[in-house]
Amino acid sequence: MGELGFIILFAAIVIIAILNIKVVPQAYAYVVERLGAYQATWNVGLHIKIPLIDRIARRVSLKEQVVDFPPQPVITKDNVTMQIDTVVFFQITDPKAFTYGVDHPIAAIENLTATTLRNIIGDLELDETLTSRELINTRMRSILDEATDPWGIKVNRVELKNIMPPSEIQDAMEKQMKAERQRRESILRAEGEKKSAILVSEGKKQSAILEAEAEKQAAILRAEAKREATIKEAEGQAEAILKVQQATAEGIRLIRESEPNKEVISLKSLEAFTKAADGKATKIIIPSEIQGIAGLATSFKEIIKEDK
């Protein structure tokens, strides 16, 4: 019986020892109390708890946590009531302060977020609220981080998730946005038409310039061609006159070489006067020295007719 009791006692001690060996996982911390008072904070690793004396008061996650709070009614400076919901990113940096600093820390953060948001929005008008998200986020993070520091909590980021104005305000904003879009569309259309008209005008201007330049070049070419034709015509006339003069000079030379007598010269003169009259002259004055030759020529023609 003594051996059995020893075995049972040994087994009980082993079981109790095994049950009081604790392993703290990564990104967690255990707050340990001894006889109801804070004893230590266990970090990652193996730890042994004294049975019936030590107890784990709280298991704390050291990971960054995200809490999405429901929409809160807030009133702007110009008395517009809207609903805003927030998202808070926080991390526990001091497990002891988190355990003993505040009761229900998440609820405390939610209430602190709501009051801080009301205070900030109360100093802004509606338009400023809608366009100042970054400013509101920064101010809320700073205030919440400072307020939660004694609780062992660090607020890393605060975001306004949704800003929901009243329905009539939303309708008015949509109408305003629609009117603004229509105004911008009209401006863009007018700008496009203006640019199009300018381009058309520039095109006509360039076309007129090119046409005038082409007409100028054509006129220059025509003048050059006319000048060259006139030069060629003058050269042709000069050449013709030169040839006539040369022929005349050649005829005179031949006449001189043939040594014509007075009668031949008189006959040639008579032929010249005949050609000059050409049946069109109404009065011709014939020199006296040619008149005798003319009578002789007439008589000579009559003699030839009788012989025939």
The domain containing residue 199 runs over which residues? Answer: 187-259
Structure token digits, residue 34: 């001894």
Q: What integer pLDDT is reported at residue 92 of this predicted model?
A: 94
Give the residues across from 83 on adjacent strands: 73, 164
Q: Is residue 195 in a domain?
A: yes
Residue type, 223: A
Structure token digits, residue 300: 């000579």
Q: What integer pLDDT is reported at residue 301 of this predicted model?
A: 47
Looking at the chain, the whole-number percentage of residues with pLDDT higher than 90 is 29
Segment among 22-31, 108-117, 197-206, 251-260 with least mean pLDDT: 251-260
Q: Is residue 182 in a domain?
A: no
How far, in Å, CA of 251 to CA of 271, rounded?
16
269 and 212 belong to one structural domain: no
81 and 142 belong to one structural domain: yes
CB atoms within 10 A of CB 114: 17
99-139, pLDDT tens digit by residue?
A: 998 888 889 999 999 999 999 998 888 888 888 889 999 99
How far, in Å, CA of 77 to CA of 85, rounded?
19
Q: Is residue 78 in a domain?
A: yes
Phi, psi of 279 (to 5 degrees): 75, 5
Bigger pLDDT: 71 vs 269: 71
Long-range interactions of 26-30: CB distance < 8 A, separation 24+: 27/61, 27/62, 27/63, 28/59, 28/60, 28/61, 28/62, 29/59, 29/60, 29/62, 29/95, 30/56, 30/58, 30/59, 30/60, 30/95
Task: Quote the number of domains for the chain.
Answer: 4
71 and 158 belong to one structural domain: yes
Q: Is residue 159 in a domain?
A: yes
Q: What integer pLDDT is reported at residue 41 of this predicted model?
A: 93
Q: State pTM to two decimals.
A: 0.55
Q: Is residue 172 in a domain?
A: no
Q: What integer pLDDT is reported at residue 10 of this predicted model?
A: 78
210 and 125 belong to one structural domain: no
Q: What integer pLDDT is reported at residue 237 of this predicted model?
A: 82
Residue type, 275: K
233 and 200 belong to one structural domain: yes
Long-range interactions of 31-36: CB distance < 8 A, separation 24+: 31/56, 31/57, 31/58, 31/59, 31/60, 31/95, 31/96, 31/99, 32/56, 32/57, 33/57
291 and 248 belong to one structural domain: no
102 and 31 belong to one structural domain: no
Nearest to 91 by CA among 64, 61, 60: 64
158 and 250 belong to one structural domain: no
202-223, pLDDT tens digit by residue?
A: 888 888 888 888 888 888 888 8
162-186, pLDDT tens digit by residue?
A: 888 888 877 777 777 788 888 888 8
Structure token digits, residue 73: 């009614």
53 and 122 belong to one structural domain: no
